[in-house]
Amino acid sequence: MSFEPKIVGILCNWCSYAGADLAGTSRKKYAPNMRVVRVMCSGRVDPTFVLKAFQKGADGVLVCG
């Protein structure tokens, strides 16, 4: 079986999360490997979140904001 990475996306509510919503409303297709966690600003992203994600088995973390 091919590698199915688990990616945690930590996205800013105002831009990238809105962007991900926009991708949805425009029905752009992408792979379901990314799971999004919404924050109110990418400034809220504490490095420990990234460590936590890797600790719990994530293969990649996307911080977007």
Partner 1 sequence: MASVRSNKNIELMTYSEVSDVSGYVGNFKVQIKQKPRYVDISKCTGCGTCQEKCPIKADNEFDAGLGKRKAIYTPFPQAVPNVPVIDTTHCTFFLKSKCRACEKFCEAGAINYEQKEEIVEIEVGNIVVTTGFDSFEPSVIKQFGYGVYDNVVTGIQFERMSNASGPTDGKIVLKDGTAPKSVAILHCIGSRDENYHKYCSRVCCMYSLKFAHLLKEKIHGVTVYQLYIDMRCAGSGYEEFYERLQEEGVNFIRGKAGEITNLAESPEEQGKLMVIVEDTLIRRKLRLPVDMVVLSCALEPRADSERVARVFSLSRKADGFFLEKHPKLDPIATMTDGVFIAGCCQSPKDIPDTVAQASAAAARVLSMISKGSVEIESATAVVDEEHCAGCKVCIDLCSYKAITFDEEKKVSHINEALCKGCGTCVAACPSSAILGKHFTAEQIMSEIEGVLA
Partner 2 sequence: MEPKIGVYVCHCGANIASAVDVAQVTEYASNLPFVVAARDYKFMCSDPGQDLIKNDIKEKGLNRVVVASCSPRLHELTFRHVLENSGLNPYLFEMANIREQCAWVHEDKEKATEKAKALVNAAVRRVYLQEPLEKKEVKVNPCTLIVGAGIAGIQAALEIANAGQKVFLVEREPSIGGNMARLDKTFPTLDCSA
Partner 3 sequence: MAKPKLALYWAAACGGCDVAVLDTNEKILDIASLVDIVFWPIAVDFKYHHVKAMADKSIDLCLFNGAIRSTEQEEIATLLRAKSKVLVAFGACACHGGIPALANFTSRAEILQRVYIEAPSNSNEQKTLPQLQTKVAEGELELPELFDDVKTLAQVVPVEYYVPGCPPPVDLILKLVDLYATGKLPPAGATVASDKSLCDECDRIKEEKKVTKFYRPHEIIPDPKKCLLEQGIICCGPATRGGCGMRCIKANMPCRGCFGPPPGVVDQGAKMLSAIASIYQGNDTAGINRMLEEVVDPAGTFYRFGMADSMLKRKRLQKS
Among residues 2, 3, 24, 48, which is the contact residue for partner 2, using CB under 8 A? 24
CB of 63 to partner 1, least distance (A): 11
Asked whether position 20 contacts partner 2 by CB under 8 A, the answer is yes
Q: Give Rg (Cα) of the chain.
A: 12
CB neighbours of 15 closer than 8 A, spacing ≥ 6? 64, 65
Is the Cα torsion angle 33, 37, 42, 46 positive or negative in sign? Answer: negative
Asked whether position 56 contacts partner 2 by CB under 8 A, the answer is no
Among residues 40, 46, 59, 60, which is the contact residue for partner 3, using CB under 8 A? 46
